[in-house]
Chain A
Amino acid sequence: MAWQNWLLLLILLSSMVPGLIIFTLAESNRGWRTALNLCGAVVKMILVLVMIIGISQGQRFAVALPLLPGVDLVLRADPLSALFVALSSLLWLFTTLYAVAYLEDSPNRSHFFGYFSLCVTVTIGIALAGNLLTFLFFFEMLTLTTYPLVIHRGTAEAMAAGRVYLLYTLTGGLLLFLGVVWLYVLVGEVDFSRQGLLMPLLDGHRPALIGIFCLLISGVGVKAALVPLHGWLPRAMVAPAPVSALLHAVAVVKAGAFGIMRIVLDVYGLPLTSGLGLLMPLMLVATCTILYGSLLALRQDNLKRLLAYSTVSQVSYIVLGITIGNPLAIMGGMVHLIHQGIMKITLFFCAGNIAETLGVHAISRMNGVGRRLPLTMGAFTLAAMGMIGLPPLAGFVSKWYLGLGAINQGEGWLLVVLVLSTLLNAAYFLPIIYRAWFREQEGPWPKDSGAMGLWECHWMLVVPPLLTAAISLLVGLLANSTLSPLAWVRFIVTTRYEPW
């Protein structure tokens, strides 16, 4: 096997092996645990960089393992997987740093970091999956590895949230399973690289194709939190902040959105999807989700729940971009996978800081937080502005391309949706920013763990959000440079989806 094939396995192992070792470490063994985690994260970053450079030079990375006669487990790196892999490994590094400080002195850390690493491994597996069965394989494992993280606190509320989470995701998994098996019975191996695979079935198997599409999309739609399958997401907010950050920005929700991309773009292909009349319904679901999520976010007083509903809304931009279906809109949707991840993880880091340092969870208690935690609130403000879509931040770029795509496609009404959603975003983010910076503090904080030297709280809690906020500014400012996510997305779209 050439080194190119080993690379994909190494990328998986670079987080799996540390995870498995961490399970065996004693609770008090903080040094080794942190070292292993960070080593794994850095090694993974380097390997992913090698992979991305290789792909951009036209090298091929693939490895296959026979699972059953006629069915292989395939890992393959195409430009789209590279996009998701890059996001996951970059944000894993930041989240690990953050989590080390966040969970200081709390119980069960070995357990936490073990599952945390496995969760990232599985997410990378989803990104690298080369066919639909491999995707299903990792997608189901994601449920298993995230469940222990959701119930990590062990309170009655956390256990209940865990039950709801399982109910939604396992049911979704079964639907997905049924759809995948049905499709395999119809056509055999469903490889993502073979476009137009299902086209010949259009004449004879139209109802079956529609049925399978519904099964597949509702299966992944649970994790992507499409309305009405989003109920688990706000409840899962009881998990510790790094977990929420990971679930929202990288792992679960993104895996769902990524799955929709794979199914619509690579399994069915846009021509077939629109030929079956399925693009429009999916677009309607996406618009409903965008608006409904924002409307519910407006009503929240708990900061993390607000962010959760905001995720429900924002992730559907990705789906919207795919369903509009012209290259510009697809670019907008795809690049939002990255942009939303970076901005949302910043917001969750900040929410976690505020809760950990000051004990403040409710937005109504956030008056004057900006004075006490200026760096945290600075990062928060930047990310929130990005979410609203102010230029030149990351969110603006996504919305710009989505809007351009919608106009080009002749779907002008979507502009109204985009504007409405932007107004709603502003309506729930601006009051928070206003309270934090311009209102006076009311009474003492519920608790205050105090400043640490130069920093307003533990430096490992402040640096990650500052970095991710800076990145969200940079990817917007430098969107047109050759190194930006947008450039990579343009590369994906021009090489694969341009003909349509």
Chain B
Amino acid sequence: MNLSPDSSAWIIWPVVVPLLGAVVCFLYKKKPRLAGHFFAVVTCGTSTVLGWQVLSQGVGRHLLGGWSPPLGISLRADGPAALMVMMTAVTGLGITLYSGGYFQSRLAGDSQDHRFRAQEQSFWPLWLLLWAALNGLFLSGDIFNIYISLELVALSSVGLTVLSGKPPSLVAAMRYLLVSLLGSLTFLLGVGFFYKAHGTLELAVISKALAPTPPVIMALALVSVGLMLKTALFPFHFWLPPAHANALAPVSAILSALVIKGSWYLFYRFWQGGGLLAAVGIVPALLGSVAIIWGAFQAFSQQRLKMLVAYSTVAQIGYLFVAFPLLVDSAGQGRDALFYFAISHSCAKAAMFLAAGTFFLQLGHDRIRDLAGVRQLLPVSSFAFALGGVSLMGLPPSGGFIAKYLLVSKAISQDLWWLALIAVVGSGLTAVYVFRAVSSVLSPHLLEERPLLVVAASMQWSALALALLAIVLGIMAPLPLALLEVT
């Protein structure tokens, strides 16, 4: 703990910059969009610096203001954390560019000028605050700060969810808020138990020292349930689809691509030590398996595109948990599979939600049946949607394929055949519901409806860029995997 305070000062910037941006956007109400773009780009830059530093110099630590914990704030950037920060940065930049076009198109296309302007004024500060909180969560070294960032993430996401102002989204947001608070309280209780058992809040220490004593088991159970609630792992997924599907287009993407990854990442952090994994790692894996199957069936039976995409998130969350029994040995391939699922899902899901949001904005509805022919109207968005689907299905070339390969090959080498089969069957089921949507979007019908408004080009191209990134992740795996090795 006797590090010099500024040994790795670059760690703080991915947290400080968006936080500053949130304040500026909140105060500078005239042009929040401009400020939002500026701070998003700078955050993205500082996150890249962080990723590069971790890759070249190894794990970074920083004590804010030189105070050591528990009084001060300690930040720690290792490979997985840096990868998550990078994921947030890249996806976040895409979503930011989309949001700019989104609000611009809506303001230009409608007379309800005032309402949209208010929406936008709240969106930018909340989004940047959420970004800062997520980065804080990834980079925090002690549980108490993690708790604070987790709360900030939850509050700002609920704030973003209510923005659309429609009754269903208010109901969904209320439920989201309650679930989230319940999750936080459970988490906090677990943290208390941990503190009692180990006398430290240092996450790295705790997760290494997980011994099967009653208080520790109790603590881990409480923390895990709290985080599963927040991540919407089956059977705690009930709140997710309405909340994600009824939000504004960029908000849906933020929630599905990024927010759930925050609590999932913490879950991983608590379990990674491996002490208890051999005994109970099967629990998240079983829940994940059910989530994969159940989410796919639900997605298939949806009539609305955004609901389909939201249920697909429920199914994909299953993949994020199903690989936990593979973390037992130190080869690292199980971890690689998990994180590859996370980052490729992030790009692909953001692209799909953004494209779905563009369809909605253009046609005024997202009924899958009546979307046939939307390709003529929005070729780029349709293509982005389809490419995102390719990655979800785990077909090559895509990040999803790499993740599926890592998962299945690790499962087979550990003789966990049921796991390999679940992963393969799950990707087949994903194909079924994805193609239900894609065949409608790509079908060569002629659309009869007239477009409601002119959609900004940035909305179409940002979605395509994210989808292409999900594809490119399929041929540049060595780079993210090298970053993950830094621990």
Q: Is A32 an interface residue (CB 8 A)?
A: no
Q: Is B428 an interface residue (CB 8 A)?
A: yes
Task: Name the A residues within 8 Å of B413 (CB-CB).
Answer: 185
Residue of B nearest to A133 (CB): B405
Of the candidate stretches B139-147, B235-243, B267-275, B390-398, the one touching chain A is B390-398
Is the CB–CB distance between B395 and A140 below 8 Å?
Answer: yes
CB distance from A143 to the nearest CB of B (A): 8
Q: Number of contact residues on A: which range applies?
A: 35 or more
Which of B395, B401, B446, B477: most chain A Cβ within 10 A? B395
Q: 1/0 contact trace for B68-97 toward A, CB 8 Å?
A: 000000000000000000000000000000
10 new A-B contacts at CB < 8 Å, known A137-B401, A148-B442: A67-B402, A69-B478, A111-B444, A141-B397, A151-B444, A166-B431, A170-B393, A170-B431, A177-B408, A181-B420
Task: Name the B residues within 8 Å of A68 (CB-CB).
Answer: 402, 405-406, 477-478, 481
A170 to B401, CA, bound (A): 14
In the complex, the 5 A-B pairs of residues with the closest C-beta atoms, listed nearest first:
A154-B444, A137-B396, A185-B412, A185-B413, A181-B409
A3 to B477, CA, bound (A): 26
Is the CB–CB distance between B412 and A152 below 8 Å?
Answer: no
A144 to B396, CA, bound (A): 9
Q: Is B461 an interface residue (CB 8 A)?
A: no
Residue of A nearest to B478 (CB): A66
CB distance from A293 to the nearest CB of B (A): 27
Task: Name the A residues within 8 Å of B409 (CB-CB).
Answer: 181, 184-185
Which of B390, B396, B397, B446: most chain A Cβ within 10 A? B396
Task: Name the B residues within 8 Å of A181 (CB-CB).
Answer: 405, 408-409, 412, 420
Between-chain CB contacts (< 8 Å), 26 pairs: A68-B402, A68-B477, A107-B444, A107-B446, A111-B444, A137-B396, A140-B396, A141-B397, A151-B439, A151-B444, A153-B444, A154-B443, A154-B444, A154-B445, A166-B431, A170-B428, A177-B408, A177-B424, A178-B408, A178-B420, A178-B424, A181-B405, A181-B409, A181-B420, A184-B409, A185-B412
Interface positions of B from 444 to 487, Cβ below 8 Å from A: 444-446, 475, 477-478, 481
A141 to B387, CA, bound (A): 12
Interface positions of B from 415 to 453, Cβ below 8 Å from A: 420, 424-425, 427-428, 431, 435, 439, 442-446
Task: Name the B residues within 8 Å of A136 (CB-CB).
Answer: 396
Q: Is A108 an interface residue (CB 8 A)?
A: yes
Is the CB–CB distance between A174 and B444 below 8 Å?
Answer: no
A448 to B404, CA, bound (A): 53
Q: Is A182 an interface residue (CB 8 A)?
A: yes
CB distance from B79 to the nearest CB of A (A): 15
Which of A67, A182, A184: most chain B Cβ within 10 A? A67
Is the CB–CB distance between A141 and B395 below 8 Å?
Answer: yes
Q: Is A162 an interface residue (CB 8 A)?
A: yes
A177 to B443, CA, bound (A): 28
Q: A68-B405, A144-B395, A181-B408 are in contact. Are A174 and B477 (CB under 8 A)?
A: no
Task: Name the B residues within 8 Å of A137 (CB-CB).
Answer: 396-397, 401
Q: 1/0 contact trace for A134-146 toward B, CB 8 Å?
A: 0011101101100
Q: 1/0 contact trace for A444-455 toward B, CB 8 Å?
A: 000000000000
Which of A65, A140, A144, A181: most chain B Cβ within 10 A? A181
A173 to B405, CA, bound (A): 13
CB distance from A171 to the nearest CB of B (A): 7
A166 to B401, CA, bound (A): 18
A67 to B340, CA, bound (A): 13
Is the CB–CB distance between A69 and B481 below 8 Å?
Answer: yes
CB distance from A160 to the nearest CB of B (A): 10
CB distance from A108 to the nearest CB of B (A): 5
Q: Is A39 an interface residue (CB 8 A)?
A: no
A399 to B420, CA, bound (A): 43
Task: Name the B residues within 8 Å of A143 (CB-CB).
Answer: 395
Q: Is A295 an interface residue (CB 8 A)?
A: no
Is the CB–CB distance between B390 and A144 below 8 Å?
Answer: yes
Q: 1/0 contact trace for A31-71 toward B, CB 8 Å?
A: 00000000000000000000000000000000001111100
CB distance from B336 to the nearest CB of A (A): 9
Is the CB–CB distance between A163 and B439 below 8 Å?
Answer: yes
Is the CB–CB distance between B412 and A151 below 8 Å?
Answer: no
Is the CB–CB distance between B408 and A67 below 8 Å?
Answer: no
Task: Name the A residues within 8 Å of B390 (CB-CB).
Answer: 144
- State the B residues within 8 Å of A (CB): 375, 383, 390, 393, 395-397, 401-402, 404-406, 408-409, 412-413, 420, 424-425, 427-428, 431, 435, 439, 442-446, 475, 477-478, 481
- DSSP class of B's interface residues: helix, strand, loop or mixed? helix
Is the CB–CB distance between A73 and B402 below 8 Å?
Answer: no
A434 to B375, CA, bound (A): 46
CB distance from B340 to the nearest CB of A (A): 10
Q: 1/0 contact trace for A160-194 toward B, CB 8 Å?
A: 00110010001101100110011011000000000
CB distance from A440 to the nearest CB of B (A): 40
Is the CB–CB distance between B439 and A159 below 8 Å?
Answer: yes
Task: Name the B residues within 8 Å of A73 (CB-CB).
Answer: 475
Residue of B nearest to A170 (CB): B431
A23 to B478, CA, bound (A): 31
Is the CB–CB distance between A159 and B443 below 8 Å?
Answer: yes
CB distance from A92 to the nearest CB of B (A): 22
Is the CB–CB distance between B424 and A174 below 8 Å?
Answer: yes
Is the CB–CB distance between B412 and A162 below 8 Å?
Answer: no
A138 to B396, CA, bound (A): 8
A137 to B442, CA, bound (A): 23
Task: Name the A residues within 8 Å of B393 (CB-CB).
Answer: 170
Task: Name the A residues within 8 Å of B443 (CB-CB).
Answer: 151, 154, 159
A140 to B477, CA, bound (A): 19
A158 to B442, CA, bound (A): 13
A378 to B425, CA, bound (A): 49
Task: Name the B residues within 8 Å of A159 (CB-CB).
Answer: 439, 443
A59 to B444, CA, bound (A): 46
Q: Contact partner of B428 among A151, A163, A171, CB < 8 A?
A: A171
Task: Name the A residues within 8 Å of B401 (CB-CB).
Answer: 137, 140
Is the CB–CB distance between B396 and A152 below 8 Å?
Answer: no
Task: Name the A residues within 8 Å of B405 (CB-CB).
Answer: 68, 181
Residue of A nearest to B415 (CB): A185
Residue of A nearest to B395 (CB): A140
A186 to B475, CA, bound (A): 23
Task: Name the A residues within 8 Å of B445 (CB-CB).
Answer: 154
A140 to B401, CA, bound (A): 10
Task: Name the A residues within 8 Å of B435 (CB-CB).
Answer: 163, 166
A332 to B100, CA, bound (A): 63
CB distance from A11 to the nearest CB of B (A): 18
Task: Name the A residues within 8 Å of B477 (CB-CB).
Answer: 67-68
Task: Name the B residues within 8 Å of A163 (CB-CB).
Answer: 435, 439
Task: Name the A residues within 8 Å of B395 (CB-CB).
Answer: 140-141, 143-144, 173
Task: Name the B residues within 8 Å of A177 (CB-CB).
Answer: 404, 408, 424
Task: Name the A residues within 8 Å of B396 (CB-CB).
Answer: 136-138, 140-141
Q: 1/0 contact trace for A94-109 toward B, CB 8 Å?
A: 0000000000000110
A163 to B431, CA, bound (A): 11
A182 to B411, CA, bound (A): 10
A185 to B413, CA, bound (A): 6
Is the CB–CB distance between A67 and B475 below 8 Å?
Answer: yes
Which of A138, A151, A171, A173: most chain B Cβ within 10 A? A173
Task: Name the B residues within 8 Å of A138 (CB-CB).
Answer: 396
A344 to B145, CA, bound (A): 69
Is the CB–CB distance between A65 and B428 below 8 Å?
Answer: no
